[in-house]
Structure 1
Amino acid sequence: MNYKQVRSKFDILITKVSSFVEVLAAIIIVIVAAGMLIRICLGLITDGGLTKITTDEFNSLLSDLLVISVGIEFVKLLIRHRLEDVIDVMMLAIARQMVVEHLSMLSMLIAVAAIGVLFSIRRFLFTCSNLPVAIYL
């Protein structure tokens, strides 16, 4: 076997192993997200629901739910490998920080500008036919 054949087989092996690790990471993230969601739902049921929740508890609940949504988007990113999914994960992560954290006005302005830039990138730079029609309106 010459160098090119060994290199080709090694590249194929690395690709298969990395694909397996990505799928394994996605499965672990889904299991953790499902566990967190179940824990949140059970906590709401056993603690008396949303009527007895304080502001700090609500912020914590909202933070947990938004982490789950970012995790699910990250799983889609790991599985599909599309540029639009990267943009979606970035928008969700920035939006989560805006909602959960109490940012200064300058940080909030930067976050809004970043989301605007991401929407502009999604609107004007993606010309694929597989994007939803609503993006082009």
Structure 2
Amino acid sequence: MSDDTATPTPIEPGSAVYDHEGNVLGVVAELSSEGFEVSITETIERVDDDGRAVVSDPDDEGQAAAETDESVRTSEEEHVPGQEFGEGYLMWRCENCGEMGDLDDGLPSECPNCGDENVIKWRED
């Protein structure tokens, strides 16, 4: 008979999150009253012995973001969504107030409605 009891692991920001097969899914971004939010945009270089994710250098992330922004600006997907069910427009969205807008002028550095800097790319059906 085997002992299948697992030792509970505390969940805290910066911890790596795994799927049932042991693949790294992302990094715990923050805790909420409903659980925790996982960031999947971080590039995880490795996980240390304490289970904390080591993400890539912020300068590297800035370069990757600039390349992504350029690919979004030149992407046909931004302007011509498919006609199939579930396909939509690529837009920006403020995580603070929910304001949304087109990416015609690129991803804004802050929300024009509330001034918050948490503006993300968003796919709208």
User: Scaled by the length of structure 2, what TM-score is found?
Assistant: 0.31
Determine which structure has greater relative contact order: mean sequence separation of CA pairs < 8 Å that are 6+ residues apart, divided by chain length. 1
What's the TM-score, normalizing by structure 1? 0.29
Structure label with greater radius of gyration: 1
